[in-house]
Structure 1
């Protein structure tokens, strides 16, 4: 599952359960349309932190980084510690098992 699809799937399953993932445009403003509110944003950031091992406490967080699926994807790609972590996160496996 690619990064954009995974983010879209999470947002739809969590905040829009009756909406097909294909109906969520990557550029849709999640705040202006009411898909995500301020409390849900905190939940979303928590999910991103765990799923992609983002050091959010060390990052300069901006509302603009979470405004759309495309913005979230850019945020993850910019702030994921390594490309290996990104690949590991995308497959759902854990790293560090190779000697």
Structure 2
């Protein structure tokens, strides 16, 4: 799976779960999801749960901070770093 595919899957999830029915045209790779209020603390938990399931990431084995979830680009980098089998 390419970086573009991973980023696309993450974007689709974020739009579907946190921006349903809203305009997502501003949602670029570097858009701040936390500062803008798209994702709150509960949203971080939901997103982490999704990532662990969708990309087979062992959440117990990784260290992360809210900054890892700040943008689509940072989330994609987190997935690539912790699920190397996801990138072929």
- TM above 0.5, one fold? yes
Paired residues, number? 85
**CA contact 1:9–1:21 (8 Å) conserved in 2:** no
Q: Which has the higher contact order (CA 8 A, sep 6+)?
A: 2
Name structure 2 gaps, 5 residues minimum.
none
**CA contact 2:6–2:76 (8 Å) conserved in 1:** yes
Structure 1 vs Structure 2 CA RMSD: 1.8
Aligned to 1:95: none
Aligned to 1:64: 67
Name structure 1 gaps, 5 residues minimum.
89-99
Relative to the length of structure 1, the TM-score reads 0.78
Which stretch shows the higher mean deviation, 3-12 or 22-31? 22-31
Shift of residue 62, structure 1, vs aligned partner: 1.0
Over residues 16-40 of structure 1, what are the superposed CA-to-partner deviations in whole Å (9 max), with x where a residue is unaligned? Answer: 0123555311101111000000011
